[in-house]
Amino acid sequence: MKRGLLMKTMLPCSLRSIVGKAGALIWVIGIFGLTAALAAPDIATAAEAPRRPNIVIILGDDLGYADMGSFGGEIKTPNLDALANNGVRFTNFYTHASCSPTRSMLLSGVDTHVNGLGNMDEWTAPNQTGVPGYEGYLNNQVVTLPQLLKAAGYHTYMAGKWHLGKAPDQIPAARGFERDFTLLDGGGSYWDMSNVTAASPRLVFTEDGRYLTRLPKDYYATKTYTDKVISFIDANHGDGKPFFAYVSHQAPHDPYHLPKEWRNRHVGEYDKGWDAVRQERLKRQIELGIQPAGTQLAERMWFIPDPIVLAPASRAILGKKMELYAGMVENIDFHVGRLIDHLKKIGEYDNTIFIVFGDNGAEGTDLFKMIAGTPGTRDFLYAAINWSQTDPNAWGDPGSFVGYGPMWAQVSMTPFSQYKGWLAEGGIRNALIVSGPVVKRPQGSLNHGVMHVADLMPTLLEVAGASYPKTNQGRELPPLIGKSWMPMLSGKVDSIRTDKDYLAWEVFGNRAVRQGDWKLRWQFKPYGKGEWELFNVAKDPAERKDVAAQNPDKVKALVALWNDYVKANNVILPSRGPFETLEDQLPMRVPVDTGFPPLIYKRQFVPPKDMVADPKQ
């Protein structure tokens, strides 16, 4: 894709600083004074200047593409669905395959290998250590969205998960957020400060730039984050300045902690198993127009059993995990509703842009098993002592750690292949909702244009009337990689990208390129082939058919784009990674065909009634 500055400045820098430091009265005085002083004939008066909208980003952590009702889910999300019905849903929106890389691009508009998250901090490889772009935190080579919005006259608020650095110069208060209540870690308890490793047993939080010694009374992550954002908005309400609120939920990331009244809203609903729920979700997606008629589901992962062959008790226990997950998503929706209702009450809802999405694919890996390791190790002992609530009746309580596994992650990512950590569509394709005053497309409509999380920086700067600078604190800034959505949101175009534009990804050594309808993918075995695979994701969104052998010229062209991406962003493939022994741990990959082997599906033969007889004496 071409790089460059994507926005036009809507106000001179001098005016933006005035807007940033004063209210409506000073804006009026400043405009008239500067008009005379600068003899600028085209500057509008305050009476003509449109009121700039507030901006709210609602980010779900590991929220699946098909979880919300408006994207085909059976999970009840009326508040998020209402935003979808008032705005636009986007079906071809891409993030990254893991949380901190996505968040780094959201806040910088710059590729991960440049902004410091070339790899997750937790998995930085030996050959990446000490290399610029692989710091494991959002580095100082980039300027952040809240820094630029703050300079343009916005209040900037954050509540929730950060995962972009813990040192004093790396926390939200140092990167442009005026107010914050933040979990700096990647995850942990929703009830207290319990973390999941022995080396780092305590979660780290900040509030307004100070590290917390304890959490507020009656803390529960999703509720408290919402409470804090509402209090931040109220503290400055009425001063004439718009606000940017980054509501970065920890949910529904595991462990699945939630209040008791939210745990039993789907009792028994998922006992029928993952295959049936995936089929139901795809049917609704086709009815809604999310997926075209004829779309197939991705193959069930070869190491996941057909739920039909499981004993009822096993299906019930596994179904209970999905019940908890659904409760987590519904709890998010409830608290989003609280925020929406509050904005309506104070008269800000109609002037607020809402942007809703998940940070990557749903989590199919058993993180607890990965972290705890094997018996006899320090982390195994720590997990056994501090995360010991394993009885299903205690799931959701402090000290319990429940994730729902690859079978339900595939359900969350219906109809796509695979999930978080991988560069199949199930790892990087996300549901996106945008609503608010800048959306001029039909309410409740769908858009199928290719979108990317890095587009948020140029889009929101254009909304704010700000521009992306060439330098920051004497350092030349890297160019933005995204494109503004404003021409598309305004209804002028249906897609902001042409067939010549491309997107590229790399994390954990897995890599991918998408250009137009084509996607080239390289993944470690056994999830991939350890070689380039080619898919037409417009016709085959589930990536069922590798057509590389039939299209060598297309493979060659996309590999050339990949090589350009590597050079432009200093991509260093890791020497070590989380999947280096996976091929040895999993059974050999085989095709999954419905009803095979017949041996385990053949039911009892029942002879015709008129041919049945008792034995002769």
Which residues are tagged catalytic?
A: 99, 163
Distance between CA atoms of residues 485 and 92, nearest Å: 13
**In 10 A of CB 261, how many CB atoms?**
9
Q: Where are the alpha helices (DSSP H) in 374-489?
A: 378-386, 405-412, 425-428, 456-464, 486-489
Distance between CA atoms of residues 272 and 268, nearest Å: 8
Distance between CA atoms of residues 180 and 224, nearest Å: 12
Q: Angle 454-457-463 (CA atoms, 0-180°, nearest 5)?
A: 135
**Do 449 and 496 meet the contact criterion of CB atoms below 8 Å apart?**
yes
Position of tokens 């692989």? 134
Q: Angle 351-357-360 (CA atoms, 0-180°, nearest 5)?
A: 155
**Do 70 and 85 meet the contact criterion of CB atoms below 8 Å apart?**
yes
Cα of 597 vs its chain's centroid, Å: 37
Written in H, E and C, the secondary structure of 190-239 is CCCCECCCCCCCECCEEECCEECCCCCCCCCHHHHHHHHHHHHHHHHCCC
| Beta strands, E only, 326-428 | 352-358
Cα of 35 vs its chain's centroid, Å: 44
Distance between CA atoms of residues 146 and 165, nearest Å: 16
Distance between CA atoms of residues 324 and 400, nearest Å: 12
**In 10 A of CB 272, how many CB atoms?**
14
**Do 503 and 483 meet the contact criterion of CB atoms below 8 Å apart?**
no
DSSP at 167: S
DSSP at 581: T
Distance between CA atoms of residues 329 and 277, nearest Å: 16
Backbone CA torsion sign across 258, 263, 269, 270: positive
**Do 398 and 189 meet the contact criterion of CB atoms below 8 Å apart?**
yes
DSSP at 465: T
**Do 503 and 92 meet the contact criterion of CB atoms below 8 Å apart?**
no
Cα of 587 vs its chain's centroid, Å: 30
Q: Which residues pair with 472 in a beta bridge?
A: 475
Q: Which tokens belong to 234?
A: 């109220």
**In 10 A of CB 614, how many CB atoms?**
5
3-state SS class at 603: coil
Strands 155-161 and 179-183, bridge-based pairing = parallel
Helix, strand, coil share of the chain (percent; to 5) = 35, 15, 50
